[in-house]
Copies of this chain bind each other. A is one copy, B any other.
Amino acid sequence: MNILLAGDLAAAEFDLWHRELARALPHDRVLRARHEASAESIEAAVVANPPAGSLQGLPSLRLIQSLWAGVDRLLADPSLPHGVPIARMVDPAMTEAMVQTALWATLALHRGFFAYAQRQREQVWRVHAQRRADELRVAVLGLGEMGRAVAARLAAQGYRVSSWRTRGARRAGAGAAPGVSLAEGAPAFLPLLAESDIVINLLPLTEATRGLLDARAFAAMPRHAGLVNLARGAHLVDADLLAALDSGHLRHAVLDVFTSEPLPHEHRFWSHPQVTVLPHAAALTDPRSAAGIVAANMQALREGRAPSFLVDRSRGY
């Protein structure tokens, strides 16, 4: 089977992916470019933010496999072939990386380690009060694989964890993790925020979730609450967050994702003392494990079985 690798990746990263995919798919041919084979012979594409139009004119295409978990950018390409199934990347190694980032951010907000870093810069030696984990209420927005895993791990550390999802997100069998309460739908959103010391966003980006983290949401959160955005920059209204931090209402934000990436130099997030900026690094796809997951989906395709983690285009994830 001819499989096209297409993506907006640095050369070294492209090479790494090509090597790992070729190793995981020894009986297939992984193409680095369309001209390496006839358009008619390409049956699958493995993509990472492919340039718009990359997948047009491939009449035999039967599967588009994303290397990233989020497919909002892929789906925004109007030239994406209709009717071809799209699979998201759900890699346990990537999920675990996201859990690590969420746990690190939660511990840092809970125990005030960002505040201690600021005091170090000012050479101030001062201890602040210490709360137990069971005195911290953490809301995890989004109940996909990552949201569920994050909520479960935080609950295991003793935090009081609630999950939230949009009503439309209900799927059979996908309840909250043990020890994690569940709220659903728009009417439950602000009341949940009102009872959360830390809010972690792991929602997919859809029309229902775009701009959800706005002035209204921040006003609902308790004074000195913290925000962790690990999903998409467009979930967040930047100016509203800056206003909530500047007024002293919110204490700190950890942001991994931004409306424009890399984050432009003039953006206030870079230098704001209450903002931690990460370069979209909360959870990288690990080519070593992800290549095996791609191979399993290609095998399913070959055998006529349904690939795993298919995207529902009408839902947007």
Contacts and interface: CB of A to CB of B under 8 A. Distances in A.
B286 A116 contact: no
Given A120-B276, A276-B120, A104 B108 contact: yes
Contacts of A283: 130
Give the interface residue-count category, chain A. 35 or more
A300 interface: no
A305 interface: no
Interface in A253-285: 261-263, 265, 270-271, 276-281, 283-284
A93 interface: yes
Contacts of A127: 279-281, 284
A194 B72 CA distance: 45
Contacts of A123: 265, 270-271
A243 interface: no
A111 B116 contact: no
Contact of A104 (B113, B120, B263, B265): B113
A211 B101 CA distance: 34
Contact of A93 (B104, B125, B132, B271): B132
Interface in A112-155: 113, 116-117, 119-120, 123, 125-128, 130, 132-133
Q: Which of A125, A157, A276, A284 has the most CB of B within 10 A?
A: A125
Given A100-B107, A117-B276, 6 more contacts: A96-B158, A103-B107, A104-B111, A120-B270, A120-B276, A125-B279
